[in-house]
Amino acid sequence: MSDVYGESTRLGGGSKAEPTSIVELFMAGDIEHAKQVIRRFCKGRPCCVTVTPTTYIYRGGEEAGFVIGFRNYPRFPSGGSDLLRLASDLGQTLRDCISQDSFMVVEHGGQTEWSSARCDQ
């Protein structure tokens, strides 16, 4: 079996540490449909994410959604800018696949990006 992800992904004894980076992607929509898209997205990349259901309450309404957590997981090490790019790419993919208009990417201790396909930005 070939090791497509490199030396850092091999399992074995010991431990590994990496600097902490946390990025979260916030989006409304059907979490079960989103998880199917996320599985396909992660299959082609060395990544590991969390998916947590949430509820968005705003002026005039309420909507179910989810938060996707990206961490600098030592098995698949990457820097904060790589995680931001990964979260943004997944957000674009999800926005198209689950028919949402917008999403938000938050880098803990860094920047927040809101991306929308709406004309009324």
For the chain, 121 residues long, give each residue's pLDDT as a single digit of tens: 445 555 555 556 678 887 778 999 999 999 999 999 999 999 988 788 999 999 999 999 999 999 999 988 777 777 778 899 999 999 999 999 999 999 999 998 888 999 998 766 5
52: domain CATH number is 3.30.70.120
Residue 30's domain spans which residues? 16-114
Is 9 part of any domain?
no
With beta carbons less than 8 A apart as the criterion, state whether 80 and 86 touch.
Answer: no
Provide the number of structural domains found in the chain.
1
What pLDDT shows up at residue 90? 97
Residue 14 corresponds to which tokens in the numbers above?
A: 């010991």
Is 1 part of any domain?
no
Residue 77 corresponds to which tokens in the numbers above?
A: 């090490």
Is 34 part of any domain?
yes
What pLDDT shows up at residue 1? 43
Q: The whole model's pTM is what?
A: 0.81
Is 121 part of any domain?
no
What pLDDT shows up at residue 92? 96
Is 4 part of any domain?
no
Beta carbons within 8 Å of 9's beta carbon, 6+ residues apart: 3, 46, 75, 76
Is 8 part of any domain?
no
Is 44 part of any domain?
yes
